[in-house]
Chain A
Amino acid sequence: MSSSTVNWFRYSSPASFFPLAGKLVPWFAAAAALLSVLGLWLGLVVAPTDAQQGDTYRIIFIHVPAAWMSMFIYLVMAFWSALALMFNTRLSAMMVQALAPTGALFTFIALVSGSLWGRPAWGTYWAWDARMTSELILLFLYFGYLALHAAIADSRRADRASAVLVLVGVVNVPIIYFSVKWWNTLHQGATVSLTAAPRMAAVMLTAMLIMSLAAWFYAIAVTLLRVQAVILEREGRAAWALNLAGAE
């Protein structure tokens, strides 16, 4: 057990994490590519046409994984933010900074795909239903993080301030979701879930899970790449980085 503790802390400095990240990226990228090919084949080709929605429902294989990832990434950001504030570690804050753009991207994809789904299914691109509205507010939370981090010149202060913001946000996300859901029922009467997925055949569920896994691995690969860029941006003049550049 003690050797694994030593290993853990060895990678907690940006200098030692940098090469590790570099080694991991190709594996996750390849896994993501393979899984998405499999998932899309299952979802677009194998899964049967739905009786009510025809083939347009197939966009859930993009929409649902994207929505799940948008929420999950925010939680992961909150985890790293808590670490950054408690232990004052630079790498934790860099992880938050690396995750945010991907989280925002998934949120955006979820919104666009949900909107595209809504059009053929219900005749309108945006119908203010609970999930989509909450997703939109989540996008604002991501933008808020990115804007705050970019606006503060001193990187250490930017890290800590945006970490506090993420933690305040993560506490509020369930409250926001609950309130929007209530708002929706108040104004629409019966709960009409705008983007109700068709009754799930087993192959549809499998396809969705595989696509979610693909999205997760993609997110990991891209985040590791981005954290390398962040590390270089902050510590590019340090001895270890110059050595690395010189050796290549």
Chain B
Amino acid sequence: MLVAEDLAAQRGNALLFEGVQFSLRPGAAMFVSGPNGSGKTTLLRTAAGLTRALRGRLFWDGSAVDPFASILRAVTLFIGHPTALKDELTAEENLASLVSLHGAPAEAESLAAALTEWSLARQRRLPARALSQGQRRRVALARLRLLTRPLWILDEPLTALDAAGVAALRGVVGEHLAGGGMALIATHQEFAPVGGTSQSLRLQ
């Protein structure tokens, strides 16, 4: 369970948000929305442990966690707004690289299966520079299937996705929640995952 207490963040000298608190329990998804520049990305990065909040604390399963705490890294799967794909590697190699970076084995069959699920079977061997934005987003999201982590933090995962992609994401997130996982998702459009409970947080 992820608990945030009284989080505040600033960019430069301007305060982005303050007094943010939430509890995320297994099976729940929280959607963070707000106008551009309201600090959605900053909030998600703070929850992932990439940056320290100006004030407030973050707790995982009751213990306070600092940025880059190993316990937080072990339980979190963070997919940020940049897709983290290398242009020189193929879709398959990129996926393998990101998956093995997080300590999971990257077997050819599971990689192929994940890419097929996201309609990228024919693009498997193409270098990432040859993929469209939507395809790159799908490669990035394909690792949701291949890594087992209780907490998913997704920053604007619907960017550049078509209807089929959105449906696939709904399905994947829904299964994750049904299995006891939790998700923190920043998005302009709320999308109801299949199953699980939803909360919203709006930043001004």
Interface residues of A (CB under 8 A from B): 88, 153-154, 237
| CB < 8 Å A-B pair total | 5
Chain B residues near A153 (CB, 8 Å)? Answer: 12
Task: Across the interface, name the chain B residue whose C-beta is closest to A88.
Answer: B52
| Distance in angstroms between the alpha carbons of A185 and B148 in the assembled complex | 62
- Nearest 3 Cβ contacts at the A-B interface: A154-B12, A153-B12, A88-B52
> Contact residues of B with A, CB < 8 Å?
11-13, 52
A237 to B12 CA separation, bound complex (whole angstroms): 14
A88 partner residues in chain B, CB cutoff 8 A: 52
Complex Cα–Cα for A154 and B12 (A): 6
Residues of B contacting A237 with CB < 8 Å? 13
Identify whether the interface residues of A are mostly helix, strand, loop, or mixed: loop
CA distance A153 to B11 in the complex (A): 11
A154 proximity list for chain B (CB < 8 A): 11-12
Q: Can you list 5 A-B contacts (CB < 8 A)?
A: A88-B52, A153-B12, A154-B11, A154-B12, A237-B13
Name which residue of chain A comes closest to B12, CB basis: A154
Q: Which residues on the A side are within 8 Å of B12 (C-beta)?
A: 153-154
Residue of B11, B13, B52 with most chain A CB atoms under a 10 A cut-off: B13
User: How many Å from the CB of B66 to the closest CB on chain A?
Assistant: 10
Q: How far is the CA of A213 from the CA of B11 in the complex (A)?
A: 43
Bound Cα distance A153, B13 (Å): 11
A126→B52 CA distance, assembly (Å)? 49
CB neighbours (8 Å) of B11 from chain A are 154
Look across to chain A and name the residue whose beta carbon is closest to the beta carbon of B11. Answer: A154
Among A153, A154, A237, max chain B CB count under 10 A is at A154
A239–B56 CA distance with the chains assembled, in angstroms: 21
A55 to chain B, nearest CB (A): 54
In the bound complex, what is the Cα–Cα distance between A153 and B52 (angstroms)? 17
What's the minimum C-beta distance from A43 to chain B, rounded to whole angstroms? Answer: 48
Chain B residue with minimal CB distance to A153?
B12
- Determine how close the nearest CB of chain A comes to the CB of B68; give it in whole angstroms: 14
Q: Which residue of B lies closest to A154 (CB)?
A: B12
Whole-angstrom distance between the Cβ of B72 and the nearest chain A Cβ: 18
Q: A residues within 8 A CB of B13?
A: 237
Bound CA span A237–B14, Å: 11
Cα-based distance from A242 to B133 in the complex (angstroms): 49
Cα separation A153 to B12 with both chains bound (whole Å) = 8
With both chains docked as a complex, state the minimum distance between the C-beta of A242 and any C-beta of chain B, in angstroms: 15
Q: Which A residues are CB-close (under 8 A) to B52?
A: 88
Q: Across the interface, name the chain B residue whose C-beta is closest to A235.
A: B13
Q: How many angstroms from the CA of A237 to the CA of B11 in the assembled complex?
A: 16
Residue of A nearest to B54 (CB): A156
Distance of A88 Cα from B66 Cα, bound (Å) = 12
CA distance in complex: A182, B13 (Å): 48
CB distance from A150 to the nearest CB of B (A): 15
Within the complex, the shortest CB–CB distance from B14 to chain A, in Å, comes to 11
